[in-house]
Chains A and B, each alone.
Chain A
Amino acid sequence: MATKSSFTIVGKAARRVEGIEKVTGQAKFTVDLTIPGMLEGKVARSPYPHALVESIDTTRAEKLPGVVAVLTRADVKDINPYFGHCLRDRPLIALDRVRYVGEPVAAVAAVDALTAQEALSLVEVKYKELPVMATFDDSLTPGAPILHPDIQGEGAYHELKKLQAEIQTNVCHHEHIEEGDVGTGFAESDRIFEDVFEFPMVYHYTMEPHAAIAKVDANGITVWSSCAHPFVVRAELALIFEQPLSKVQVLVPYVGGAYGGKSYTKIEPLVVALARKAGQPVRLEQSVPESMLTNRRHSARVWIKTGVKRDGTLVAREAKVLLDTGAYADNGPRVARRAATRIHGPYRIGNYNIDALAVYTNTCPAGSFRSIGGPQSIWALESHMDIMAEQLGIDPLEFRLKNLLKRGDIVKSGAKPMDADLLSDLKQVAVKLDWKGSAKRRTGSGVGLAVGVTDSEAVPVSTAIVRLLADGSVVLMSGSTEVGQGTRTVLCQIAAEELSVALEKVTMHSTDTNVTPFDRSTGASRSTTVMGTAVRAAAADLRAQLIEIGAEILKAKPEQIVLKDGEIIAGEYRIGYTKALHTYFGMPGGELIGRGYCRPGGGMSPIYPLFWETGLGGADVEVDVETGEIKLNRFVGLADVGKAINPPQCEGQDEGAAMMGIGHTLFESLIYDKGQPLNPNLVDYRVPSFRNLPAVFDTILVENQDGPGPHGAKGMGETGIVSPAPAIGNALARATGVRIRELPLTPERVWRALRDKSSK
C-alpha cells in the first residue's frame, strides 16, 4: 500500500453512513427486535451488599399464570456458571452468596414484562447478612473476610502476562512498575511533594441500557445483544455453556452508546441460561437504574509523591493507586495496569516506583469506561503538577514544557517511545486559552491546563473482508460495533478510498459472528487504527485482484493499470468494475473477495502501545464565590489524531469525551452508604445536559500523518475525557486559591473550601 498524498474520500467530512436511518427512527436497536415466540425476562436482585443465600423458593412465582420459567442457581449445575474475561470470578446468577446490591439472584421469563415483574415479588429468598466491605479501606483491613476464596481461574481474554488474585486478600490485581532508584532520586531532590486525590464512582450513562435476547435450540446459542465486544461474548458463552465457537452466534444491532459499559460480557450469560430453561427465546431489557447497578467506573484514591529540583526538573516519583473494582473483577486488572502507566505521565522521570491495586468491595462491579484508569490517575497527576509549580514559583505551563517528553523520548522501558509533539500541542492549547493574558484576571476567574496522555489498550488483532458484488457495490464485513462513534462511516471511507469507488457504493452491516470475521473488540480507540488497517488490507487485496483481472482483459501490464471512479484504466482503454467482473466470471454474476488481517507483526507493530493517545485540555472558569458554582467560559481540547479520516467525527468524539469528563468533574458521583447505593437513578445522579456545555468549546486536531493506522491515523475519542477534571481543578485554584482534591467539584465542596480558606 503506497502512501497517498491526495485523497478523494479519506479526510473529508463524509456524511454518516447510518445517519438518515438513525434520525428518521428506522435504525433498529436490540430492544426494537422481536423474535418469534419471544418471552420477556426480569431479574430479582439482591437487596443486600453481602449475604449468604440460604434458600430460594420459586414455587409461588412459577404458579403465576403467564410465567414460563424461573431461573435460579439450581438450574446452572450442569454448566460452568462462572464468567469474567480476566478472572472467572462471577457466577451468571448468585450461587452461595451475593456480593453487591443488584446482583441477580433469580430471573423470570414470562409472556409479558408485567407478568415477569409481578412474579419477581413472589420469589422468596432467605438471606443471612455478612459483614460488608463497603470501601477498599474495609477490604484491605488485615483480617477482613475474603470476598473470593475460590476463583475459577483465568478468563478467555486475560491477555496479561501476570494475572492472579492475591491469594487470601481482597486484591484482585496488583500492578507494579519501577525503574531507576526512587530512594536516590528523592535524596537528590530539592523539594518533595506529596498529595492524595479521590475520584468518585461514575456511571456510563448510555441512552440505551443493557439489553439482550437469547435463543437456545438444536443449532446452538443465538444472542442479540447491545454489546460492544461480540467476539468476547461469544468466547465466554462458549466456555460457560460448553459449546464450540461455531455454535454460538452473537448478533449486534445498533448500540445506543457504550463508553465501556457494554465492553466484554455483561447480561448475556444470564439471558442465555434463562432462555435455555424456558425453551423459548427470552429478552431482557434493563432499565437505567438496573444498568447503573450493572457496571460503573472504578472509584480511586491516588497517593502521589514527586521529588523535584529547585529549577523544576522532575527527579523521582512514587505513587499508589487504589481502585475499587467492586464485587467482581470484570476489567479491573487491566484498569489497574493502565492506571500505573497513566500516573507516571508523559514526563521525563528516571526514577519511579508505582503500584496500582484493583480491590474487591461489596459494590457494583467496575469495568471498562472510556480511558480505563486514565481520569483517575491523570486527575491526580495533573493537579499535583500545578500544586508543585505553584510551590516552586514556576508558571505551570513552563513547568510542564520543561519536563514533557519530546518525540522519540523513552516513556518507560520496553514501551513505544513518545510519538506525539506534546510541547507544541500544549503551546497551542495555551494560546487558545490566552494563558499569558490570564495573569491579569480578577479573582473568581481563571484558566487551567492539563496534559492527558495514555497508553492505548488497543490489541492489534482484527480481520476484515471486502466483497465486490456483481453490480459494483461493495460489502464491508467488519466486526467493529457501531456504538454511535461513527466507526462504520470511517471504515467505509477507508475501503472506498482504497477501492476507488464512491462512498455510497460501500455498505457495512452489523456484526453477526456466524458471518462477520473476528475482531478483538470495539474500544480502546482501536477501531480506526486496527480494524482500519485490516479493512485497508482487505480492500488492497481486492484492488490487487482487480488490477490483475483488468490487466488480463485490457491486455496490459499490471503496473500500467490505474483504478479510478470504479473503472480499471490502462492508457486509453478502460472497463468498469461491473463489466470486468462479468467478463471474468463469464456471466452477469460472481463476486471478488478481499481479505485483510491485522496482527502483531503483521500490519501492526508488536510493540506496546500501538500509539500514545493524547487529550490535552484547557479550562477557563468563572466561580460564583457565594454559591461555589463553577461556570465554564471555555474549554479547549486537543487531540493528536495522526490523520483525521473524518474530521467532524473526530471533533464530535473529542468534544463528547470532554463533556463526559466535565460530567465527573462537576456533577457525577454514584454514592454508596455501607454497600447500599443511594442514587442509582437519573434524578439523583446528575448527568450533564446541553445547558452545561462550556460557553465556548474548541477542539484542535493535530494531523502529522504519523500514526500506525491507515494513512497515518491513530486512535482518539477516549483521552479527551481525562483533561477536564485537572484543567478545571487547576483553573479553580488559580481563580480562587482553593485546591480541592476530591471530585466532583460540587458547588457545596467549592463553597466549603472557600469558606475554610477565608476563615484561616
Chain B
Amino acid sequence: MARTRYLWAAAFLALPLAVYIFFVILPLLSSFYYSLTDWNGFDVDYNYVGLENFQKMFTDRLFRNAIGNTVIWMALAIVVPTGAGLTLALTLHGRGRLSNFYKSLFYLPISLALAVIGQIWIWIYQPDWGLINTLLRAIGLDHLAVAWLARPQFALICVIIAWAWQQTALAMVIFLAGLTSIPTELIEAAEIDGANYGQRVRSVIIPLLAPASIVVIALAVINSLKSFDVLYVMTRGGPFHSSDNLAMLMYNQSFQSYYIGYGSAIAVVLFLITLVIIIFYFRQTAKVEQLYD
C-alpha cells in the first residue's frame, strides 16, 4: 500500500520535477558553463577561457556602472516601497468602507504587468505632452520640464519610481495583513497607558510588524535584483547605459554584443548576489519564527 502511494507521488511529481530540471536547473548549470567560455552565441566552436570573463568585470566600466545602479536600486527598494507601503497600510487600516475603496485603488498596480506599468510611465514622463511636464508647465515651472528618460542623470531614478509604484502596492497589502494579525488588546493597553498615536506606532505596531517587514524588504530587494522588464520597456538601460542594472547589462552583453560568455558570467554574479540575500532572508525569517514560538 505504502509502495503504491510512493509510486503515485513519484508519478505526479515526475512531470513538474522534469519541467523544473529542464527549464531551471539545466539553464542555470549551462550559464555556469558558458561563463567559462568565449561563446558568441552563434559559433559552433568556442574556447574555454577559465575565469577571464570574471576578471574582465574588474576593468569593465559598464559592469561597475551596472553594479552601482543595482545597489542604488536595492537601497531605494528597501526605503521607498517599504516606507510608502507602511504609511498607506497604517492610514487605511480599519477605517471603514471608504478605506476599502482606497485599498483597492492602491492595490491596482499589482494587477498590471511591469511592461504595462513601464509604458504608462513612459507616457507620464513624455517630454512634450506627458503628465509631469504638463503639470510643471501649468504652474509656470517650464524650465523644470525636461526629457526625463533621455537624461542620464534622471533615467534610472525615473524607472525606479515606476517600479516602486507597483512594489508599494505589494508592500501595503503585506503590511495590511500584518496589521490585522496584531492583537487589538496590545494597542488598547498602550493607549490606556497614555501612549499617543506616534508612540503606539513606534513602540507597539512596528515591532510587531517585524515578520511582515522582513517579507516586504526581502521581496523588494529580490524583485529589484531581477527587475528587467520595466527597464527594458522604458529605457533598455539607456541613454547610453546610464540606467543599466546587472540584469540589463547581462542582456545587452549577451544579445546585443553577442558576448554570451561574458553575459553568462554576469548572470552568475547576479545569481550569487540573489542567493546570499535569499539565505539571509530565510535565516531572518527563521529567527523571527523562533522568537514568536
Bound together? no
**B interface residues, Cβ below 8 angstroms from A:** none
**A interface residues, Cβ below 8 angstroms from B:** none
